Structure 1
Amino acid sequence: MTPLDELPRIGRPATQALQLAGYTGLGQLAGVPRATLAALHGVGPEALRILDEALAEHGLRLG
């Protein structure tokens, strides 16, 4: 289980895109619209799926 203060392993481009957008931990992504994250260069369907699953482990989800 990924801690809420860390990002799961989603690949370097997606991780860098999230960090540049100010998201440094999984918990910060709860409630963020999928479209907002998908618009970031490097965040694709696979990264979104992984983020969804990691959030679900904590009872959270993307917006």
Structure 2
Amino acid sequence: MDDDGNLWSSAADGVHCLAPDGHLMGKILVPETVSNLCFGGRAKHQLFIAATTSIYAITLNRSGAQNP
């Protein structure tokens, strides 16, 4: 989940980003099946994606939700 309340989920074709109301906002296509993901980095602007045989890291324009 990011700071805006969007849910980021692994999927067969990559990563899906869902708005709080449930509509699909976008996808990050990955050439392998994605099994897991997490936000990281100093400001939590990086998304780390674990796929079948690789780990990907991309920088986003939003950050992962902080623990209360």
TM-score, normalised by the number of residues in structure 2: 0.27
Larger relative contact order (CA 8 Å, sep ≥ 6): 1
User: TM-score, normalising length from structure 1?
Assistant: 0.28
Question: Which of 1 and 2 has greater Rg?
Answer: 2
More helix by share: 1
The structure with the greater share of residues assigned to strand is 2
